[in-house]
């Protein structure tokens, strides 16, 4: 008897995740920007090092990780523009929403540089995985600044089994 309610709850959760993908259909044209080879996704060691590319606003369900990932946008971009001499290189912070098949959505703030003193972290843990920001483009220029980049950002993330989970068997 207890198996039926679990199956129903799992089905509802799965439908919710799939419904999120459907509502984000306007971004479907960007789905082809995922540059991860299909063969790399099939082996567990290769998938842990595969770069997953997302355009700003893009939503992707990653079946191999049982999670939905959405690149919400860039909340901060203080990187030193190209061609300018700066005292500090600056940082960009990408907001990535992740949701497991049985979890609520969580916003991760992933920074382009690791600086714990300023609360900037390149990686965050979620649902047994470590999600790391690998790339964030384009880079600001002195002519346009960061305001011209809104809606044009692209990120590359890497998802790996968390170190705490890897040691537990």
DSSP states along the chain? -THHHHHHHHHHHHHHHHHHHHHTGGGGGGGGG----HHHHHSHHHHTT-EEEEETT-EEEEGGGTEEEEEEEEEEE-PPPBT---SS---EEEEEEEEETTS--EEEEEESS-BGGGTB-SEEEETTEEEEEEEEEPPPBTTTTTGGGTTT-EEEEEEEE-HHHHH--
44 pLDDT more than 50: no
Q: What are the beta bridge partners of residue 53?
A: 156
Q: What are phi and psi of 49, to 5 degrees?
A: -115, 10
Are 134 and 113 in contact, with CB atoms under 8 Å apart?
Answer: no
Dist. CA 25–CA 23, nearest whole Å:
5
Closest alpha carbon to 157 in 91, 66, 62, 39: 62
Residue whose pair of structure tokens reads 């940082």 in the numeric block: 91
Q: 162: which 2 tokens? A: 């968390």
At 164 the pLDDT is 65
Q: What is the pLDDT of residues 98-142, one digit of tens each?
A: 999 889 999 999 999 999 999 999 999 999 999 999 999 988 887
Q: What is the pLDDT of residues 50-107, one digit of tens each?
A: 899 999 999 999 999 999 999 999 999 899 888 888 888 899 999 999 999 889 999 9
Q: What are the beta bridge partners of residue 112?
A: none
41 pLDDT more than 90: no
């Amino acid at each position: 008897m207890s198996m039926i309610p679990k199956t129903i709850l799992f089905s509802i959760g799965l439908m919710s995740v799939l419904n999120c993908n459907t509502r984000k259909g306007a971004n479907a044209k960007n789905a082809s920007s995922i540059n991860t080879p299909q063969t790399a996704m099939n082996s567990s060691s290769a998938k842990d090092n595969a770069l997953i590319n997302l355009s700003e606003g893009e939503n992707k369900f990653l079946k191999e990780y049982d999670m939905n990932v959405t690149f919400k946008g860039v909340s901060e971009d203080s990187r030193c523009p190209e061609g300018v001499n700066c005292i500090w290189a600056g940082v960009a912070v990408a907001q990535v929403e992740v949701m497991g098949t049985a979890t609520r959505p969580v916003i991760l703030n992933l920074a382009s540089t690791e600086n714990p003193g300023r609360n900037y972290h390149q990686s965050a843990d979620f649902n047994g995985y470590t999600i790391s920001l690998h790339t964030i483009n384009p880079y600001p220029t002195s002519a346009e600044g960061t305001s011209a980049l809104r809606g044009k950002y692209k990120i590359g993330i890497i998802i790996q089994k968390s170190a705490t989970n890897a040691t537990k068997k």
